């Protein structure tokens, strides 16, 4: 029989429908995997074992009676602990929410549940989704399945670690900087960042309950899986308009063009001069480009004109500062946490690289914000999105690294990261290759393409056109057949 802990979600769904395995059997296989491995990973922070067993039993009984709930009938999945789950603790790793029990599901959760998914538990994360490592004040830090001394990334480190280690076949995360793409890269799994506003963020808690809805730009919902087919399934289930978020447009899912690999025109970059990547990542990107070219794709080194990283990251920081300004309570703890982040980003790492991610430059504006400044930042963002739309038009996709570094060893929040013997500011090392596409709103898919000499995963970011996620996933599938390199971590 297939190893149920590492079967894909769509495979499990088919097996349950065909009655070759029961939903209860699948759940028990995952619970056994969790019992064996989660204590060292800390990927799952809240396990809903009893209710999951009850729901799996109901799924089997429904199927026996000829009733099918949907595409994920009886499939156990996990949910990042930033999404509200009815009757199940949702903390966002934030002490004041340690006993918070929502009354309703987040929209994305409700849609997965209505498709028949069994909610197995909640996955660990960075506190209020605010770091590139997954540490918080409530739960032990998340460790990387490939090496426990290394971070699984953030803010969705628990999600990526759970998928990589076979604790769950499917998870959802959220995005404002790179919170699905970077952990997917660090843990060697597949990840999707959709177009801005494609998926409703209703019921998500970077904004603490009771605070105004502030994160109206750059924030979206993404998916984790061990296959592109599962990303496609998850995305198709949770995308679309939502009465709880009127700004989510009723844009139908696109129809892929059906282009074969030999018909694809692919832009490519192994690094940007301002932010060089680790040697192993550059080598993996070069190998991928060479393999794709040999397989018949047209691959050209490319970077958009006027793609100025200093301006892009500065504008990203300005928009992020404005939309986060009133999203969380102004208390001593949060002020201290934010000040520490700004100080470390401004003072740690190479002097020239600090100029790219020095959020301390925003302090005057944060201390004296204006509505005019906010609208000016949004106007600049619109211009950048339109410019990138035009630049990407001749290409089917743009292939670039995910981060400057593979997974790194655990360290205090927002401290510098070494890349090629140089100290990089934390935000630059982790976000310089992802933040531009949160700023622009373009979708991106992560596929694993290899490993470092130390045995850590390397992912590749595939950037596509806005509102063309199904086309992007189809392109990623063509690429994955040539350069994809998903592997199970040793010992799992």
User: Considering only 103-107, 283-287, 310-314, which range has the smallest mean pLDDT?
Assistant: 310-314
pLDDT tier, 294 (very low <50, low <70, confident <90, very high otherwise)? very high
pLDDT tier, 223 (very low <50, low <70, confident <90, very high otherwise)? very high
pLDDT at 224 exceeding the cut of 80: yes
Per-residue pLDDT tens for 183-193?
Answer: 999 999 999 99
pLDDT at 410 exceeding the cut of 70: yes
Per-residue pLDDT tens for 165-177?
Answer: 999 999 999 989 9
Whether 200 is a known active-site residue: answer no
- Hey, is 91 helix, strand or coil? coil
The residue extents of the domains of the chain are: 8-238, 261-400+417-442
Q: Identify the pLDDT of residue 345.
A: 77
Among residues 92, 134, 168, 179, which one is catalytic? 179
8-238 homologous superfamily: Amidase signature (AS) domain (3.90.1300.10)
Q: Are the C-beta atoms of 307 and 437 separated by less than 8 Å?
A: no
Residue predicted with more confidence, 342 or 298: 298
Indicate the burial class of 255 (C-beta count within 10 angstroms; 0-12, 13-18, 19 or more): exposed
pLDDT at 408 exceeding the cut of 90: yes
329/209 Cα distance (integer angstroms): 10
pLDDT at 29 exceeding the cut of 90: yes
108/199 Cα distance (integer angstroms): 8
Q: Identify the pLDDT of residue 359.
A: 66
pLDDT at 489 exceeding the cut of 70: yes
Whether 179 is a known active-site residue: answer yes
Per-residue pLDDT tens for 103-134?
Answer: 999 999 999 999 999 999 999 999 999 999 99
Whether 355 is a known active-site residue: answer no
Among residues 80, 122, 193, 465, which one is catalytic? 80
Structure tokens at 455: 């045995």
Rounded to 5 degrees, what are φ and ψ at 482? -100, -45
> Quick count: other Cβ atoms within 10 Å of Cβ 382?
12
Q: Identify the pLDDT of residue 357.
A: 61
Q: Which residues pair with 190 in a beta bridge?
A: 225
User: Considering only 73-87, 208-222, 224-238, 433-447, which range has the smallest mean pLDDT?
Assistant: 208-222
């Amino acid at each position: 029989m297939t190893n149920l802990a590492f079967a894909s979600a769509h495979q499990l769904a088919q097996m349950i429908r065909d009655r070759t395995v029961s939903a209860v059997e699948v759940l028990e296989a995952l619970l056994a995997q969790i019992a064996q491995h989660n204590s060292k990973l800390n990927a799952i922070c809240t396990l809903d074992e009893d209710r999951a067993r009850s729901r799996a039993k109901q799924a089997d009984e429904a199927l026996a009676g000829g009733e099918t709930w949907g595409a994920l009938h009886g499939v156990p999945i996990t949910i990042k602990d930033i999404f509200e789950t009815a009757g199940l603790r949702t903390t966002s790793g934030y002490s004041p929410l340690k006993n918070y029990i929502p009354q309703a599901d987040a929209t994305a959760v409700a849609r997965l549940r209505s498709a028949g998914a069994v909610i197995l538990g909640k996955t660990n994360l960075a506190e209020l989704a605010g770091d590139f490592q997954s540490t918080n004040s409530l739960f032990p830090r998340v460790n990387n399945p490939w090496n426990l001394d290394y971070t699984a990334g953030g803010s969705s480190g628990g999600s990526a670690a759970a998928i990589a280690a076979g604790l769950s076949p499917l998870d959802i995360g959220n995005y404002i900087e790179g919170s699905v793409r970077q952990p997917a890269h660090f843990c060697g799994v597949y990840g999707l960042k959709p177009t801005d506003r494609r998926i409703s963020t209703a019921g998500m808690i970077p904004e603490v309950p009771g605070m105004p809805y502030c994160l109206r730009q750059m924030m979206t919902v993404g998916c984790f899986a061990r296959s592109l087919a599962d990303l496609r399934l998850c995305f198709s289930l949770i995308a679309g308009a939502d009465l709880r978020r009127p700004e989510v447009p009723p844009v139908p899912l696109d129809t892929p063009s059906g282009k074969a690999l030999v018909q694809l025109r692919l832009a490519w970059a192994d690094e940007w001069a301002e932010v060089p990547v680790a040697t192993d990542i550059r080598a993996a990107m070069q190998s991928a480009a060479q393999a794709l070219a040999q397989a018949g794709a047209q691959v050209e080194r490319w970077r958009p004109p006027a793609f100025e990283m200093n301006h892009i990251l500065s504008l990203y920081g300005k928009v992020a500062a404005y939309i986060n300004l009133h999203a969380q309570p102004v208390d001593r703890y949060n002020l201290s946490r934010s000040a520490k982040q700004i100080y470390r980003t401004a003072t740690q790492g190479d002097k020239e690289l600090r100029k790219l991610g020095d959020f301390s430059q925003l302090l005057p504006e944060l201390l004296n914000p204006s509505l005019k400044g906010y609208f000016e930042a949004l106007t600049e963002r619109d211009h950048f999105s339109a410019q990138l739309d035009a630049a990407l038009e001749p290409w089917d996709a743009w292939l670039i690294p995910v981060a400057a570094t593979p997974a790194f060893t655990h360290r205090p929040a927002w401290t510098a990261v070494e890349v090629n013997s140089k100290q990089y500011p934390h935000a630059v090392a982790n976000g310089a290759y992802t933040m531009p596409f949160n700023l622009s709103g373009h979708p991106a898919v992560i596929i694993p393409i290899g490993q470092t000499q130390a045995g850590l995963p390397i992912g590749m970011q595939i950037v596509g056109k806005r509102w063309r996620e199904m086309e992007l996933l189809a392109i990623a599938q063509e690429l994955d057949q040539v350069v994809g390199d998903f592997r199970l971590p040793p010992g799992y």
